[in-house]
Structure 1
């Protein structure tokens, strides 16, 4: 079923109003891309100079391409646009504000072959653009990708490789979801019987959210996304109106901070972010509705 390494790869990176972030990502990627690989940057309706930045890279690198998704404001719709235009046997997904280790792509492809995996999550390490309490909390509670794969059968789309035939069978991402489309897709992949793997040595660096506002917005979006998954997939996620059981690192976590002040701050942030998820969930439950204008997963 699987083809041997090396493979032609299409790396898909959605972006919205982030010229500095996409420049950092492309700087890290272009040195790893071979002649039979490509980078597809999908602009999702940017209103600043993001597209001009991308065009500069397309002029200097023939395997960097700009795509545009202006009809649907959704990172999953942008990724789907990349999937439809990709030529690679393997599709890699990364976010616009990330960087990668020097041998990220080669290491990830080797892990796919060694594990005979069709769907591969990579190691995500959070960095601190600014050393704040919020940033340290986010870095501690960030992306336990191996745990996600073992317990929920998915890897985040900020660090994911998928073989083309997987999309041909199970379909693309669900662009109706504001958040959680990576989990919904990963569960479909698992249910279809494809092999999922994890590459500890293939490292993606993701900047932590360092402000309360940024982290709160993310958690509101996560709450809304879970309610949407229940609305579209009640057999898998339960009926809308009953939010998920909260989970996360406890007080006995081996990485718990030593400082009493930091422990207290982390406890406050944990409660606050749980409240933000609940706020997002019930906002979506009370005011949201099915999006009939946006297509669900397509093959």
Structure 2
């Protein structure tokens, strides 16, 4: 990339590189290669890799990667915290305001589609939610489960309910607490777009589209390596912190399975197989989302070995 990166005040970040793709598709390796070529800065664009403790299970860059190029917004959030897309965009804006991207292109890499949408389309301005309302719905989720709350959401916000899976407790709770706080449905607030963080016209957009069979092999191999390198110890460390059962970090694949092993509720071999299946299913959902949401301006590239 020949042009210098421009960030003036809160203007959109110019000449950024965005790399999206499903889990285990080689995104981080591609980002690191481009960072070396462009003297760039790698910025995490994955909602699970923001959390501390779970370095292995969330496949955060290792020490060698961190030494090879600057990496930001990795492992900086307490697992007990509820970290949102809005907080992530605030963190990106703080990096931009610091001047970090003035002479080094930011390379946004990850698998969280909503983060990329926020970068390019802006984020809807949501109303503040009082802590008592937030806690009310978290407790309801823990007590009743997402299946019981989804019909309630359908009554209050049919449009949001159509778009949110009945098993997605975090998003169901978010929609209900926004309705409680403002008296208006989440869909109302989402229609009011915010300001893009990245200038799409000058950005390089890349989405990795791997062969599914090849990706499945990589997923299996990577999870085995996670286990060999201490993933069980990570999960035990997380459990010792007593995170809320509805905390976003609990959605990290492998967490609930390995916790069940520690409680004697599941055999380790079964937990590993379930985690691999869940990872393949998650990758499929990611690929479907990218295919449906990303237009022709995105460069499609196969998985790189």
The question of a shared fold, defined as TM-score above 0.5 by the shorter chain, is answered with no
- How does the TM-score come out when normalised to structure 2? 0.30
Higher strand share: 1
Task: Tell me: higher relative CO, structure 1 or 2? Use CA pairs within 8 A at least 6 residues apart.
Answer: 2
TM-score normalised over the length of structure 1: 0.31
Higher helix share: 2
